[in-house]
Structure 1
Amino acid sequence: MGWDACAASIAKAQAFWSNTPYWNMGLYLGGSSYGSGCKRWSSAEVGQLRTMGYKFLPLWVGPQAPCTGFPSRFSTSTATAYDQGRAEAKAVYNVAAGLGWDTTDAPMIYDLEGFDTTNGGCLNATKSFIDGWVYQLHVAPAQRAGVYGSSCASGLNSYSTIANVPDFIHGASWNGVKSTSDLSCIPAGNWTQRQRHKQYQGGHNETWNGVTMNVDSDCSNGPVYPGPDNLTSPQGCE
């Protein structure tokens, strides 16, 4: 089980680690669409989190689909969007390398918020963007390319048929079911080999060790950093 939060801190992360069910956390590495009021982690702080024992779901919140209202959006041109996806992959790689991480096989997750998936031009541009993201992350030393988003509204299943298929998905499906096999709009046969994370509950307050934080809750059966995830008990997550 894991959590992610915009307003995290070292003290809050420690409270959510000690004698809690949590083993990983969403670690936001940056990007043009990452909230201005959200936590920016320093290299020293990331080191402290690792010393606690946390595994990470490294998230990058770059430009969003062109048919959204986000200030930072990628192009409607499929060719340009592809190049922009590659550029975002290079950006997250540079941040991870700057943290001193062993980037080989490290999972990197693109945070893709919901958009109008019935808009064919927008969907095609998004597929091309993700294609470029995955292609570039697979350039040696290759990382594992993931995509986060609403399991339906971010069109996650659409990326199962692009030229460079994401290595794993992180689907938001807020039905409260702690099972990565239960993801709305994702067929059972896609991303089956420990290739799924599930955000099963959206923002809500939780209190651990006297500290309250507004978090999203995750179930993980996919790659984390640093790997591998050695837990043998599913903790109610499947």
Structure 2
Amino acid sequence: MPYPRSALRRLLAVTSACVLSGTAVLALAPVAGAEPSTPVAYPSGATATRYSGLAFDACTAPPLSTVQAWNASPYRALGVYVSGVNRTCAQPQLTASWVASVSKLKWRLIPIHKGLQPPCGARPTDAKISTSPATARSQGTAAAQQAVTAAKALGMLPGSALYNDIEHYSQTESVCRTAVLTYVSAWTKELHRIGYVSGVYMNLNLGAKQLADVYTSTTYARPDALWIARYDGVDSLKGWAGIADSKWAVHQRAKQYRGSHDETYGGVTLNIDNDRLDAPVATVAHPYKVTSTTPLNARTGPSTSYPVSGTHAPGSSVKVVCQAPGSKVGTTSVWDKLSNGSYVSDHYVSTPSGTGYSAPLPRCTYPYQVTAAGGLTERSGPGSGYTAVGTSPNGALAWVTCQRAGSTVGATKVWDRLDNGHYVSDHYVATPSSTSYSKPVPRC
């Protein structure tokens, strides 16, 4: 955002035996995930949300009336500055109520943290990252905590992607380079520990290339998504100079391709930057009503075979974060995951569709990075004997929807089903457990 506006994971210690049958589950916390692929500790009510399409960002979050007018625009995602000591503009509109209202209009939100800036770049007046690696590391950790606190206050749930805005900096100063990379690495590790997805915004030539240069480095944790600035008027998410298309390759990219200018839709003019996204964004809960005439059972997974974990009274409100396939109830096999991590059949919830999935609710997914150095083979079923149907590059996000037992690979029989229907061995995915199932991912 321009001025003035705006298989290393397998080293985890595992000592418990696991039984992969029925509903047996062992979930290990990612206590000290190894770089570059560190596991994400998604809590029970988490899910990731992604957006593919045109977006814009503005220095100040616009009024709700403006967003309503801009329903006439080609944009359906909006970048908002949620936190950071170097935020340029005030955010009088940016409240939890605003986030809920904008989300109800089917807009996706891109949370931005504009915190400390490179010691050899950005504006001279900006608060800067320390050139001491130890201090830079603690600053990155603190930045993640600050961003998560702000995001939670706005109703952005675990599983949301938070983007750290790192402005342009000199590419020739090694001390500065180390400070920035250390800060970003700590930001990523702390977000993963808390259960959020890590994003970074950088100038393509004055920052992002250096991040790409350490893509496989065991010194730094790799962020999950990269948002570049390159004002060439081209909105392509491929062919970035100095960054191979195999890096951040699976719904992990965004590009800001035009800087500050005015656009008008619905009779309302805004000063914006243009963006193209295919990347994770914020996750929010959407309220709906229970339509059953008797108490609705909530279960620990998306099926009537899972244990009952609670009930919801007829006519009561439930907060849905995502939808998942499960056992059929009435006219639908869709189940709604609630913000407390439980599931209810969509047959008894007032979502728009009575038979399928309902926008703007996302599908329940849990992205983790691929750890296989040479890329990970995707197969048609949960085993090495199934047909190869694709490949996920090293560092790509495996958008996991569920897990099931299959053939043994390494120390595990767990296979992850991706949102494209393919399967990959969990041995090569940075989930919290290296031997068994990882909560909160359900069984297939």
Q: TM-score, normalised by structure 2?
A: 0.49
Q: Deviations over 1:117-175 (max 9, x none)?
A: 211110011010001000101104x2110100211112342452353100010111111
Which among 273, 283, 286 is matched to residue 216 of structure 1?
A: 273
- Is the contact between residue 109 and residue 148 of structure 1 (CA under 8 Å) also seen in structure 2? yes
Indicate the residue corresponding to 2:153 in structure 1: 98
What is the rounded CA distance, in whole Å, between the counterparts of 2:263 and 2:274 in structure 1? 10
Once the two structures are superposed, the pairs formed by residues 119-158 of structure 1 within 5 Å of their partners are 119-140=173-194, 142-155=195-208, 156-158=211-213
Rate the CA distance shift 1:39–1:216 in 2: closer, same or farther, 3 A.
Answer: farther
What is the match of residue 282 of structure 2?
A: 225
| SS state at 1:205 partner | strand
Selected match of 2:103 from 47, 50, 54: 50
Question: Which residue number in structure 2 is paired with residue 193 of structure 1?
Answer: 250
Structure 1, residues 4-27: CA drift from partner, whole Å, max 9, x if none? Answer: 0114422322222x2221110101
In structure 2, the residue corresponding to 1:218 is in which secondary structure? Answer: strand
Q: Which protein has the larger Cα radius of gyration, Structure 1 or Structure 2?
A: 2
**Equivalence for 1:168:** 225
Q: Distance in 2 between matches of 1:39 and 1:67?
A: 32
Q: 1:99 to 1:72 in 2, by over 3 A?
A: same
Counting aligned pairs with the same residue, the percent is 30
Which of 117, 124, 142 is 1:64 aligned to?
Answer: 117
Q: 1:56 to 1:5 in 2, by over 3 A?
A: same
String of CA shifts for 1:17-48, please: whole Å, max 9, x gaps. Answer: x2221110101102100004566612222222
Query: Within 1, Cα distance between the matches of 2:92 and 2:230?
Result: 24
Q: Is the 8 A contact 1:173 1:184 kept in 2?
A: no
Q: 1:205 is matched with which residue: 257, 262, 279?
A: 262
| Matching residue of 1:235 | none
**Deviations along 1:72-104, whole A, 9 cap, x unmatched?**
11100111101100000011111112223321x
1:15 counterpart = 2:69:
yes
SS of the aligned residue for 1:87 comes to helix
Contact 2:61 2:80 survives alignment (8 Å): no
**Aligned 8 A contact 2:140 2:183 in 1:** yes
Larger relative strand fraction: 2
The Cα offsets for residues 186-236 of structure 1, whole Å up to 9 and x where unpaired, read as: 222211011101111111111111111111011111112238886xxxxxx
CA change 1:35–1:116 in 2 (3 A) is same
Distance 1:158 1:203 in 2: 29
Residue correspondence of structure 1 range 100-119 to structure 2 within 5 A: 100-103=155-158, 105-119=159-173
Q: Measure the CA separation in 1 of the matches of 2:117 and 2:187.
A: 13
Asked if structure 2 preserves the Cα contact closer than 8 Å seen for 1:33 and 1:70, the reply is: no
* Whole-Å separation in 1 of the counterparts to 2:267 and 2:102: 19
Q: Secondary structure at the match of 2:190?
A: helix
Please report the TM-score for the alignment, with normalisation by the length of structure 1. 0.88
Aligned to 2:422: none
Letter paired with 2:192: H
Partner of 1:236: none
Greater helix fraction, Structure 1 or Structure 2: 1
Whether the aligned pair in 2 keeps the contact of 1:183 and 1:198 (CA below 8 Å) is no
User: Which consecutive aligned stretches of 4+ in structure 1 deviate over 3 angstroms post-superposition?
Assistant: 36-40, 227-230
Aligned to 2:141: 86
- Which residue does 1:234 correspond to in 2? none
Count of matched residue pairs: 228
Task: Describe the SS at the equivalent of 1:63.
Answer: coil
Query: Aligned partner of 2:270: which letter?
Result: M
Gap runs ≥5 in structure 1: 231-238
Match for 2:251: what amino acid? R
Task: Provide structure 2 residue ranges, at least 5 long, that are not aligned to the other structure.
Answer: 1-53, 285-321, 323-359, 363-444
